[in-house]
């Protein structure tokens, strides 16, 4: 069987996300694009993410040319082609390959004529219509609670950031200014290096040398707030994929990286090897882990609703039904982490969620459950952090509509707790 083209691989990703509710990160980790070379993998992922961001617009354009929606596989080929055409793709190449992809499916080959006709119409009138359609909305299961928490104007800002996508942020092992010069990026106020048009990540200068790692600017802040010191015993409690582990290890602290997934821990090991940093790796359950630590970073499992600008598959792969269980798990992990702290130790709790129930409310409730626990507001006195981002209980709320002129940031919540 010949290797798939990047466009065909992107269509397969869409089928798995839309039809099987698989997350793209899981698909990539299990080899969904391994038959492609590095540039092909990058292109397939880019085509899939562009389509996911623009599905609402694509469906509106396609609805005019379809009496009824075709089977999902064919619909995803149409979506993929429509988005590519509306973003300036070559009409001849896009239409021809989408028709060929349809013809290669035994069950759907008879629909190749439909695909040809519809995409030719989309090529003619789609780009003009695309330009005037609204910014795609979040699904109702997420849009409603976010509107309640932040208001309609803020949510519109979130959606604009999601639709725009995310530039590439790097954390430097050494001097951020030198890294920015090396890769042609800019240094953000919090010290991350941002590249607006990165291309293939592994081809960037300094990748093989381990001079940096990919990490959204918001995700890089928790480890900085923890301020791990050389020789301190530090636990990264849910470590994979390892960006925060690398940050902690770079301080000279004695870092233990813990994660329940062996497969995900393999990526932490790979990143440590590439960067030449060291940590003790433990595959295990955070709720039964034993030890005693000066400092703990708990990036708790969450809805990941703050990362949609980088992971536009999330609203399609999830429906919000898991959030109640996640909230209970976060509270249990937070309590367990506090039990592992040495007297006077500190815990950085964070989630990449926009939902207050997974952030601010968790800290409020932990303060009630644990008399003597305090929030260290002073830890937030860090360059680049706007005082307006500090919440009532002393945590930090980051949102995708912040830094719009710089390309935004992921949604995150974090608070430094002292026992």
Query: 86, 98, 238, 352: which one is catalytic?
Result: 352
Quick check: 272 and 279 in contact, CB under 8 A? yes
Question: Quick one: 197 exposed, middle or buried, by C-beta within 10 A (0-12, 13-18, 19+)?
Answer: exposed
d(CA 227, CA 403) in angstroms, rounded, equals 24
Contacts 24+ apart (CB under 8 A), 176-182: 179/206, 179/211, 179/212, 182/206, 182/211
Q: What are phi and psi of 372, to 5 degrees?
A: 95, -15
Q: From residue 44, how far is each of 10, 80, 195, 409 by CA, in Å?
A: 5, 11, 20, 24
> For residue 282, what are the β-bridge partners?
258
CA dihedral 152, 156, 161, 165 (to 10 degrees): 120
352 tagged catalytic: yes
d(CA 265, CA 224) in angstroms, rounded, equals 22
DSSP letter string over 70-139?
Answer: --HHHHHHHHHHHHHHHTT--HHHHHHHHHHHHHT-TTTGGGHHHHHHHHHHHHHHHHHHHHHSPPPPPP
Catalytic residues: 352
């Amino acid at each position: 069987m010949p290797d798939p083209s990047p466009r065909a691989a992107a269509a397969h990703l869409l089928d798995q996300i839309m039809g099987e509710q698989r997350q793209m990160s899981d698909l990539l980790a299990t080899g969904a694009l391994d038959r492609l070379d590095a540039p092909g993998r990058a292109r397939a992922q880019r085509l899939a993410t562009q389509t996911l961001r623009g599905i609402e617009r694509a469906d509106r354009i396609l609805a005019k040319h379809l009496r009824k929606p075709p089977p999902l596989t064919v619909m995803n080929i149409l979506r993929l082609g429509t988005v590519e055409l509306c973003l300036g793709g070559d009409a001849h190449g896009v239409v021809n390959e989408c028709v060929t992809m349809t013809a290669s499916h035994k069950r759907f080959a008879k629909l190749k004529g439909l695909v040809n006709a519809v995409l030719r119409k989309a090529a003619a009138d789609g780009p003009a219509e695309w330009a005037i359609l609204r910014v795609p909305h979040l699904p109702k299961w997420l849009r409603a609670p976010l509107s309640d928490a932040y208001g309609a104007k803020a949510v519109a800002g979130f959606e604009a950031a999601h639709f725009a996508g995310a530039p590439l942020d790097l954390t430097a092992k050494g001097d951020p200014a030198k890294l920015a010069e090396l890769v042609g990026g800019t240094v953000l106020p919090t010290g991350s290096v941002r590249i607006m048009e990165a291309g293939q990540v592994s081809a960037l200068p300094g990748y093989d040398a381990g001079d940096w790692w990919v990490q959204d600017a918001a995700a890089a802040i928790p480890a900085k707030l923890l301020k791990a010191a050389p020789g301190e015993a530090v636990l990264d409690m849910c470590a994979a994929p390892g960006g925060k582990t690398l940050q902690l290890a770079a301080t000279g602290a004695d870092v233990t990286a813990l994660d329940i997934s062996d497969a995900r821990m393999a990526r932490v090991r790979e990143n440590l090897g590439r960067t030449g940093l060291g940590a003790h790796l433990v595959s295990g359950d955070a709720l039964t882990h034993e030890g005693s630590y000066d400092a703990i970073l708990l990036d708790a499992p969450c809805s990941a609703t703050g990362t949609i600008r980088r992971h536009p598959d999330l609203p399609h792969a999830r429906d919000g039904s898991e959030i109640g269980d996640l909230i209970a798990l976060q509270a249990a992990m937070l309590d367990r982490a506090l039990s592992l702290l040495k007297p006077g130790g500190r815990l950085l709790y964070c989630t990449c969620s926009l939902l207050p129930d997974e952030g601010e409310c968790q800290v409020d409730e932990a303060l009630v459950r644990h008399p003597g626990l305090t929030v260290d507001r002073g830890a937030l006195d860090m360059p680049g952090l706007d005082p307006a981002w500090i919440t009532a209980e002393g945590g930090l709320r980051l949102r995708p509509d912040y830094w719009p002129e710089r390309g935004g940031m992921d949604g995150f919540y974090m608070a430094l707790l002292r026992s």
